[in-house]
Amino acid sequence: MLEVIQAKLKEKPSRKDLEVVIVYPFNTETKEIFLIQEYIHSYARKFWKFVSGGVDKVDKDILTHAIEELAEEVAMESDVFLHLYSSERVFGNRPMHYFIAENPVIMENPPENPDEDYITDSKWVNEEEFQKMLDAKELQWDQGTMCALQAFRRYH
């Protein structure tokens, strides 16, 4: 019986149960945040969003997942990762962990991105441009965008 329980603990959680890391690459000099536009197969459309991914490796902590997502999704690395906020599982929502990656640089040999969805565009935006994207509904108004606004305010 103990073996069965231990095997279940090592199984990958289902996609809907995964905790998620969100990473905000942030240039502290220009006060800009990096956004990606990704084609998401399950919705058959493009979305502007943040670097993100599921916490799917049971032997790694959330910071390691955030570092890996930044490398896999946008081939960037940073010497400074700041934990901005974590939410709990409330009303069926997945726990989310938000990080700022200060002044990221492009990697020489990035890891391959295992995701099926692919990036169609990317850009650095300041807080005013970010707000215009929210007003134009190019970005969803959700916990992720509220935390991004907190990231901007951190560097005023």
Alpha helices in the chain (DSSP H): 2-10, 62-74, 127-135, 143-154
Q: How many Å is the Cα radius of gyration of the chain? A: 16
pLDDT at 99 over 90: yes
Contacts of 87 (CB under 8 A, 6+ apart): 93, 95, 96, 143
Which CATH number is associated with domain 2-154? Answer: 3.90.79.10
3-state per-residue secondary structure call for 10-28: HCCCCHHHCEEEEEEEEEC
Over residues 33-58, the pLDDT tens digits come to: 999 999 988 889 999 999 999 998 88
E strands within 72-141?
76-77, 80-86, 96-102, 105-106, 118-125
pLDDT at 8: 46
User: What's the pTM?
Assistant: 0.86
pLDDT at 24: 98
pLDDT at 6 over 80: no
User: What distance in Å separates the CA atoms of residue 25 and residue 142, rounded to the nearest whole number?
Assistant: 18
pLDDT at 31: 98
